Amino acid sequence: MKRVGTYGVLVLGLVLVGAALWMLRGSSDEGTKPAAPAAPPAKVENAVPSAVLPSFDIVRISPEGDTVIAGRAAPGAQVVIYDGEAELGRAKADERGEWVFLPEKPLPPGTRRLNLAVFPDADPAHALRSESDVVLVVPPPGTGAVVAVQLPGKGGVSRVLQRPGDAAAGLSIAAVDYDRKGSIGVSGGADPGAMIVVYLDNAELGQTAAAANGDWRLQANLSLAVGTHTVRADQLDAKGGVAKRVEVNFRVDAADAAVDGNVIVVVQPGNSLWRIARRIYGEGIAYTLIFEANRGQIRDPDLIYPGQKFVAPKK
């Protein structure tokens, strides 16, 4: 779909107006020729610079084919998700500007290019479109892994949203974070809306529900002793029984207590800086805070490994 910039439209409009005036003048001289019909308005996208452009935060496909697409837009905006030129579906942004789309059917195998649009009024010429698209490679079942890459916008760089092995395989614990003031957080992924019970060393920490995109997080106040600890998460079924279970071990060192005013994050399999930042700070773009604070350990922000410990500065 061809995009025309605002200044280009203004110049084109002036040219058209000048041409129309010249034609009207010529017709008045001849006295009989009717005026030529007005040309249809040029299709303009992102024509309202003060509006919030829709954007992607998450594109994820599980091994079972379940798809989660989430992002940002103006609060209350109706976001249209496109697969190339075809509409894939729609989602409404909440009061914080966050939206989540869950396709009813698995995406068929193939390479596709996802993009977004918001129509602030009835005029299609005022469509607001995402500045960076997402290329999604979905292999046939059992033949490979999904790859999702967000293409760079103006002056940006490509961002890997899902690489082989990143797919959320049901219930997972993505990170454990804690500070010296006795606060501990456990976050991960699960089936959307599922109830999760979290345990620390076999003692219940609390319960939480997974969001529409499958993310869940539990925060509790508990001082951690130096040594190895075990965190367990149980996903409950409709009758309150345990449907899925996962657990991870992590170690608290004496040196962790010296990190004053910040949070220690222990990376778990399948995690990424974007997801860690989204769970700690509420927005994935804040991953740069963690990256800058841990440059000695992170050479590439797209490559982190289970067991690594990062300092997450508090805002």
* pLDDT score, position 50: 42
pLDDT of residue 166: 56
For CA atoms 274, 277, 282, 285, give the dihedral sign.
negative
pLDDT digits (tens), the chain, 315 positions: 444 443 343 333 433 334 433 333 444 344 443 444 444 444 434 444 347 899 998 888 876 667 889 889 999 999 999 999 899 999 999 888 888 888 888 888 888 899 999 998 877 788 899 988 998 888 877 666 788 888 877 656 677 777 665 554 568 887 777 776 777 888 888 888 889 999 999 999 999 998 876 778 888 888 788 788 888 999 998 888 898 888 888 777 766 654 555 677 877 666 677 777 777 777 677 777 778 777 777 777 777 776 777 877 765
Q: What sign results for the dihedral spanned by CA atoms 268, 233, 161, 49?
A: negative
C-alpha to C-alpha distance for 77 and 288, rounded to whole angstroms: 27
Chain center to CA of 282: 12
Cα-to-chain-centroid distance, residue 214? 12
Beta bridge partners of 233: 198, 246
Query: Among candidates 210, 172, 187, 182, which has minimal Cα distance to 277?
Result: 187
Backbone angles phi, psi at 202, to 5 degrees: 70, 5
CA 88, CA 257: separation in Å to the nearest integer? 49
**pTM for the complete prediction?**
0.43
Q: Smallest Cα–Cα separation from 249: which of 268, 265, 230? A: 230
User: Rg for the chain (alpha carbons), in Å?
Assistant: 25
Whether the Cβ atoms of residue 276 and residue 186 lie closer than 8 Å to each other: no
d(CA 310, CA 174): 13
Sheet with 67-72: strands ordered across? 55-61, 67-72, 98-101
The pLDDT of residue 232 = 92
Residue 259 token pair: 């990190």
Classify residue 45 by its DSSP letter.
B
Name which of 256, 118, 254 is nearest 184 in CA terms.
Answer: 256
In whole angstroms, what is the distance from residue 216 CA to residue 79 CA?
24
pLDDT of residue 203: 92
Structure tokens at 121: 């009024």
Residues 273 and 39: their CA atoms lie apart, in Å, by 50
Residue 86's pLDDT is: 92
Predicted local distance difference test score (pLDDT) of residue 19: 40
pLDDT at position 39 is: 43
Structure tokens at 214: 């499958």
Residue in the structure block whose two tokens are 């999604």: 136
Q: Put residue 22 in one of left, alpha, beta given phi > 0 → left and psi -120 to 50 → alpha.
A: alpha
Q: What is the pLDDT of residue 54?
A: 93
* Structural tokens at position 210: 């997974």
pLDDT at 184: 85
